Structure 1
Amino acid sequence: MSDNKKLKLVLCWHMHQPEYRDLQSGEFKLPWTYLHVIKDYVDMAAHLEAVPQAKAVVNFAPILLEQIEEYARQVNGYLHDQISITDPLLAALVNPSIPADPEERMKLVKDCMRANRERQINRYPTFKRLIEMADWLEHHYDSLTYVNSQFIGDILAWYHLIWMGETIKLSDTRIKRLIEKGSGYTLHDRIEIIEVIAEQLTTIICRYKALARKGQVELSVTPYAHPIMPLLLDLNSTREAMPDAPLPELDAYPGGEERIVWHLDKGVQTFKRLFGFKPKGCWPSEGSVSGPTLKILGDFGFEWAASGGSVLHNSLNLPENDKTLGIHHPFKLQETNVACFFRDDGLSDLIGFEYSKWHADDAVGDLIHHLENIAAHEPGDKVVSIIMDGENAWEYFPANGYYFLSALYERLAGHPNIELTTFSECLQNKAEVKPLAKIVAGSWVYGTFSTWIGDVDKNRGWDMLGDVKWTFDKVISAGRLTEKQIEQAELQLAVCEGSDWFWWFGDYNPGEAVSNFEKQYRLNLANLYRLLGEEPPAYLSMSFTQGSGTPAMGGAMRPGVEFT
């Protein structure tokens, strides 16, 4: 079969973490950036490196790239010059003296329990026993007095070993040896672990840059700090997909379009500095699009964007559009200059939520069967877009998805009727772009903005953000700040505008995650007030949302279609 008759398949992996640093103190409040580097970003690069015929799109949030850079700088600074690391968990790994204070010890123990029980913890019987002891200690707090330093050292070592990517565990002799050792880890052992971590942090961006240079990967970008662009432009766009949604007291986010342009410009600058070229595509934060958003992206020079399949389904139901059109094409909204690809929610969610329970070969076979059906039963040239998080699904798979991803790339790269490609290549090869008269604003999660706005806690978050933005505008217009202070305030505001804080607000999420993100959101807002020379409002000292839910996959992922 000729290449132009093959089913075109784009695998798009979105890598993003919010800003976990307190930008004023420099301390990392949560460790997820470096943990996902050593587990997921490393493995995802290695799988592509192992199958040179495979292709994918990899999207990076610029604020994630900057944190990777900072971690690499700090860890190498520690190894070369004994400079302190500002991530408390990573610093504890190589601290020669284990803290004596029971509360400090318990915090370290609890931090080392944050992992998937079935796939990460229970896989290693020695670590499983340590965690069972930690479970007991949580309910017998007074016994912490009798816990020795070796227990803390071992649990810290093991925690970082279980977070290592499968490709590291299979290839790095140091990690193999330390896993086999099992207990009695010394400071030398723990420093060896951080040496491995330093190598991954230092090389990971270069590895993706090399894959892009070879043409295996198309690298794309997200607005700098991952804001929901349609909501910054117009909070009322919420009601295009949710007509009855309650909205914040805030009528409109002040200066939203100016802020979007700031995030796009800053994001592209960061991307160009690290990768050396301007990206052709943009994955809007959470696939969130609207008519005005696509217009801005096209005017900014992007050739393609992407969103969720439910957004297209909602849009095709409008009388202005042709509802007979299928999802497996790029579309162009009238009066815009950017092609928009839409996620096949069914296939993407199979990988994200179902295939982790299957044998890898069966899962890949099932996916290929679905793709072959699409090729056989849908007329014309087709582009299937599988778009999903590049980091959050794999801890639910055996061996961090190693067997699934290996089989996926090998079998797809060798398939006679399926062509792994990229969004830009599809456009270069003249994939048919269908017309769209009007689009319903929404995201890749359910085709709505319900994950970020529309309930009491999320709306309260928007009102708090609106308050600080009004203060920001007032102080800037008064000319009270120096150029450097304005730059710091703009950066802090960008962090506050990120989507992740709003994702976690709401009682349907796990309590610990809600608490962590809610505290950091209030800290971010308070830091901005102080940078502006203003006293933070008293309400920022009080929690405004609590969680008690148990959503699928811990809440870090959501399906594209809402199940009722």
Structure 2
Amino acid sequence: MTDLAFLWHMHQPDYRHPDSGEFLLPWVLLHATKDYADMAAHLERHPGIRCTVNFVPVLLDQIEDYAAQFASGQWRDPLLRIAAAPDGELPSEAERAWLLDVAFRCYAPTMLEPFAPYRRLRDLLAFVRNQDGHSLDYLSATYYTDLAAWYLLAWSGESLRRSGRTIPQLMAKGGDFSVAERRALLAELGEAVGGLIPRYRALAERGQIELSCTPANHPLAPLMLDFAVAREAMPNCPLPAAPEYPGGRSRVAEHLANAQASHERRFGRPAAGLWPAEGALSTEFLKQIAEAGFQWTASSHGVLRHSAGAVMGDSAQTTTPWLPPEGTPGDTLLFFRDERLSDLIGFEYAKWHGRDAAQDFMGEIKAISRREPGALIPVFLDGENAWEYYPYNAWYFFSDLYAALEQTPGIRTVTLAEAAAARRERSPRLPRLTAGSWVYGTLSTWIGHPDKNRAWELLCELKLCADRALDSGRFDAAVCAQVRHRLAVCESSDWFWWLGDDNPAESVATFDRLFRHNLRSLYRLLELPPPAALDHPLSSGGSGGNSAAESGGTMRRATESPS
């Protein structure tokens, strides 16, 4: 019997302004109504499919924030505020500028071009912008409320379009949406968002899926523990001027503990497995994972190749889990994803007809099964950002793939906890662990570039200030908790991902700005003046083109969607 283990990783960083709580970007909301809803629906329609779904706590925090907004009508996302506005009420100038900036960020061939009313809104904006400098003043309140509604409609998942009431009605009507119609749309979307966490919990409670977690705010833990581990896979990697991230071990431990507390509160039990942020592992981080009691963790074949290649050659196998190197406490099992199969789904099959893609993937699985009877096939990838590149949000691909897997004898889908329990006794031991991630098997996406290193240096300076302030006894418990929370947000891997030359300049600037907002906010919490350096961008530019993820075989980030 061949085991196929899917892991769908769900993550978005904290997009909220650190002081106002206002959502500066709408990606959590949009992925919730499109991707998280659809991925749950696929599993509900195919009860014979088992898999692992990984949720990062900072994403769950924001899903609950949106659920509270829908319940109260107190909007902290300008997209929702504009969509809910009374007829004839023109949004503020800042809100209008924000909406015009984001409301066509999607993959146009699948999410914009198919909808004539949405295209007309885009074309009208392009025409008006080509006129004199005051031409935008001629856009009416109806233009903005229709645009907000259409952005929400374009990002609604196929499951909502097929089962909803308001969504298909408004898509058929096309425009001139009344406030009653727009608020009915928000009610339908709010029901979907509010139901997400209970739906996934129900899938887990009936044993169909395993829910795993990531350290709470998605930190690049190996670098927090030791910058020098970047040189294990990349010996010439330039390092930050700071010798280390101060108190990194205790910070990583807090992220791990907070992740388990989040998981138990939301899903009723602690997580058995941990997908590390960016699939990034190191020897010291693996020890902390084991000490925290996780039964399994995972990375990618690039890390396995760097770790075991000297012993087994570059073909070090992903078709079995691995025991940790000698000297690692506990017996946390390591899984390494099949990069080629994972990237076929993440990057290639969107160009295919859904049925052809599903049949091709099944052919790949069957070939491995014949070649290696009893193999474990680990397919791990982002569970949210790839689907907009597929027609119909990958609805037909998943329908055909999951149906084929349910009907194919000799191949079964399993959770990673099941795979760990069944294979632990016959797993080989990893000779060593070379620090790396699921991007190239290195840590180069988060360190080494001057902009990335400068970001680490600024964070290290702030961490030293926080340590001194917290040790001083000047702050009560509530303020100390706020400081630790804001520090956790600042430690997210996403800020470092976007800095550098490989990503679109617009996205680089957005994440650079949000990172500095968070640093400044923490200085203010500490009652310290933010350094002047935070008034200036860290980024030296950006590519102005596609992200490195397009060629790096990793997850797409939400804001790679072209305008």
- Out of 494, 499, 508, the position equivalent to 1:500 is 494
Matched to 2:406, the amino acid is A
Q: Is the 8 A contact 1:232 1:256 kept in 2?
A: yes
Query: What is the CA–CA distance in structure 2 between the aligned matches of 1:37 and 1:135, rounded to whole Å?
Result: 29
Q: 1:322 to 1:339 in 2, by over 3 A?
A: farther
Cα pair 1:248 1:454 within 8 Å, conserved: yes
- Please state whether the residue corresponding to 1:419 is helix, strand or coil: strand
1:386 CA drift (Å): 0.5
**2:41 equivalent to 1:46:** yes
Alignment of 1:377-526 (within 5 A): 377-378=371-372, 381-430=374-423, 432-526=426-520
Shift of 1:299: 1.2
Matched, 1:375 2:360: no
How far apart, in 2, do the equivalents of 1:303 and 1:312 lie?
19
Deviation (angstroms), 1:322: 7.3
Asked if 1:238 is matched to 2:233, the reply is no
TM-score by length of 1: 0.94
Query: Unaligned 5+ residue runs, structure 2?
Result: 556-563
For residues 499 and 161 of structure 1, the distance between their equivalents in structure 2, rounded to whole angstroms, comes to 31
Question: Aligned equivalents of 2:428 and 2:246: distance in 1?
Answer: 35
Find runs of 4+ consecutive structure 1 residues off by over 4 angstroms.
100-104, 321-325, 550-558
Deviations 1:272-327 (A, max 9, x none): 111110110000111000111111111110000010110001111235x6767422
Q: What are the equivalent positions in structure 2 for 1:207-218 lying under 5 Å apart?
A: 207-218=199-210
Structure 1 residues 270-281: aligned runs within 5 Å:
270-281=262-273
Within a 5 Å distance, the mapping from 1:26-45 to structure 2 comes to 26-45=21-40
Out of 327, 346, 349, the residue aligned to residue 352 of structure 1 is: 346
Match of 2:164 in 1: 172
CA contact (8 A) 2:146 2:176 kept: yes
Alignment match of 2:15 (pick from 3, 17, 20)? 20
CA drift of 1:476 comes to: 1.2
1:55-110 per-residue CA deviation (whole Å, 9 max, x = no partner) reads 110000001111111110111101xxxxx211112111102254366564343222
Secondary structure of 2:144's aligned partner: helix
Does structure 1 residue 198 correspond to structure 2 residue 198? Answer: no
Deviations 1:203-248 (A, max 9, x none): 1000000000111110000000000110001000000111111111
Q: Deviations over 1:172-203 (max 9, x none)?
A: 12111110000111111110111011101111
Q: Is the 8 A contact 2:296 2:335 kept in 1?
A: yes
Tell me the SS of whatever aligns to 1:384.
strand
Q: Deviations over 1:350-408 (max 9, x none)?
A: 11110000011111111111111111113x53211110111000000000111111111
Tell me whether 331-340 or 36-45 shows the greater mean CA deviation: 331-340
**Conservation of the 8 A alpha-carbon contact between 1:445 and 1:560:** yes
SS at match of 2:3: strand
Does the CA contact (< 8 Å) of 1:212 and 1:219 recur in 2? yes
Does the residue aligned with 1:269 lie in a helix, a strand or coil?
A: helix
Task: Single out whichever of 20-29 and 58-67 deviates more from structure 2.
Answer: 20-29
Is the Cα–Cα contact under 8 Å of residues 502 and 548 in structure 2 kept in the other structure?
no
Instruction: Measure the CA separation in 2 of the matches of 1:121 and 1:553.
Output: 21
Is contact 2:17–2:23 with CA below 8 Å preserved after alignment?
Answer: yes
* Matched position secondary structure for 2:13: coil
Q: Distance in 2 between matches of 1:184 and 1:8?
A: 51
Match for 1:300: what amino acid?
Answer: A
Partner amino acid for 1:215?
A: G
Q: Equivalent residue for 2:537? A: 543
In the aligned structure 1, how far is the partner of 2:315 from the partner of 2:101? 53
Distance (whole Å) between structure 2 residues aligned to residue 134 and residue 512 of structure 1: 19
Residue from 32, 55, 59 that aligns with 2:54:
59
- Aligned equivalent of 2:81: 91
**Contact 1:509–1:547 under 8 Å retained in 2:** no
AA matched with 2:505: G
CA–CA separation in structure 2 for the residues paired with 1:285 and 1:455: 20
On the 8 A contact 1:295/1:335 being kept in 2, the answer is no
Q: Select between 490-499 and 109-118 the one with higher mean Cα deviation.
A: 109-118
Is 1:248–1:460's contact at 8 Å kept on the other side of the alignment?
A: yes
Taking a change above 3 Å as real, the CA distance of residues 560 and 171 of structure 1, as seen in their structure-2 partners, is closer
**Superimposed CA distance per residue, residues 9-31 of structure 1 (whole angstroms, 9 cap, x where no aligned partner):** 11100001111112322111111
* Candidates 128, 132, 147, aligned match of 1:155: 147
How far apart, CA to CA, are the structure 1 residues paired with 2:235 and 2:91?
A: 56
- Contact 2:502/2:547, CA 8 A, preserved across alignment: no
The residue type paired with residue 424 of structure 1 is: A
- RMSD over equivalenced CA pairs, Å: 1.7
- Supply the AA of the counterpart residue of 1:93: A
Whether the 8 Å contact between 2:301 and 2:336 is mirrored in structure 1 is: yes
What TM-score do you get using the length of structure 2 for normalisation?
Answer: 0.94
Q: Using the aligned pairs only, state the percent identity.
A: 40
Using the TM superposition, give the Cα deviation of residue 520 of structure 1 relative to its aligned residue in structure 2, in angstroms. Answer: 0.5
Letter in 2 for 1:266: N
Q: Secondary structure at the match of 2:186?
A: helix
Query: Residues 288 and 54 (structure 1 numbering): CA distance in 2 closer, same or farther, change over 3 Å?
Result: same
Q: Structure 2 CA distance, aligned partners of 1:291 and 1:331? A: 14
Q: 1:383 to 1:52 in 2, by over 3 A?
A: same
